[in-house]
């Protein structure tokens, strides 16, 4: 198979497995999604979903969040890890949204990435899932699977994102990034598949025998 044929085959199989998808992070609007995505850095979505109900019960808008102290936020989100930095970022971005965006989460990559603690991946998730703008956020699952499927050389997540955007139709990006994440968690895990065991890996590379070494 060519690289494009592998991409097309993987996309078709993912659509069969996950015809309907929703973002795994519980949220009710762009602001709570932004906070949840920020909390998910180096933390599982399941842990975030266990933590955010208490946080959002106290503060589910920028106006309410800035009324909490950074220490208050930190004490609630501690189970998510990196609590001091995340609490400072959540408090800071809430204030910035109030000061510069009239309390509304901005709708451009540039403005989102200018918020405290918000990087390109976080901005991409919000743009894709809150505002429907085509984006292809690359997390560890996508970065690993794209290498196993030889859709990228995996030099870094930025290169992986560029390569995947070239291979898949723009109108599929928002759904595909969630489909790949789900597949990576359920079937092509870091320990459960080495590029030779799961259904998609076997389909794309039926003669592959050696494990695939992926870059983080």
Q: Give the side-chain half-sphere CA count within 13 A for 39.
A: 32
Kindly calculate the radius of gyration of the chain based on its CA atoms and give it in whole angstroms.
18
Q: Is 86 a catalytic residue?
A: no
Q: Is 139 a catalytic residue?
A: yes
Q: Which of 178, 174, 71 is nearest to 128 (CA)?
A: 174
Distance between CA atoms of 215 and 63, rounded to whole angstroms?
41
The active-site residue out of 26, 139, 150, 165 is 139
Q: What is the DSSP-derived secondary structure letter of residue 105? A: -
The active-site residue out of 121, 163, 175, 194 is 121
Contact of 36 with 48, CB cutoff 8 Å: yes
b vs e for 87-121, b when ≥16 Cβ sit within 10 Å of the residue's Cβ? bebbbbbbebbbeeeeeebbeebebbeebebbebb
Write out the catalytic residue numbers. 121, 139
């Amino acid at each position: 198979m060519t690289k494009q044929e592998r991409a097309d085959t993987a996309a078709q199989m993912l659509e069969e497995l996950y015809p309907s998808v929703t973002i795994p992070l519980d949220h009710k609007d762009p602001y709570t999604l932004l906070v949840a995505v920020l909390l998910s850095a180096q933390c599982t979505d399941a842990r975030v979903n266990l933590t955010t109900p208490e946080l959002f019960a106290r503060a589910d808008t920028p106006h309410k969040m800035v009324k909490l102290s950074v220490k208050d936020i930190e004490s609630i989100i501690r189970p998510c890890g990196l609590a001091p930095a995340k609490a400072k970022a959540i408090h800071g971005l809430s204030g910035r949204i109030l000061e510069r965006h009239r309390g509304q989460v901005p709708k451009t990559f540039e403005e989102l990435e200018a918020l405290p603690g918000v990087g390109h991946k976080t901005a991409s998730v919000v743009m894709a899932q809150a505002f429907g703008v085509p984006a292809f956020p690359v997390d560890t699952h996508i970065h690993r699977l794209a290498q196993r499927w030889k859709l990228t050389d995996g030099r870094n997540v930025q290169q992986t994102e560029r390569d995947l955007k070239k291979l898949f139709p723009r109108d599929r990006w928002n759904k595909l990034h969630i489909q790949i994440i789900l597949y990576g968690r359920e079937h092509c895990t870091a320990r459960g598949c080495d590029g030779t065991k799961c259904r998609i890996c076997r389909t794309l590379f039926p003669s592959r025998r050696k494990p695939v070494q992926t870059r983080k």
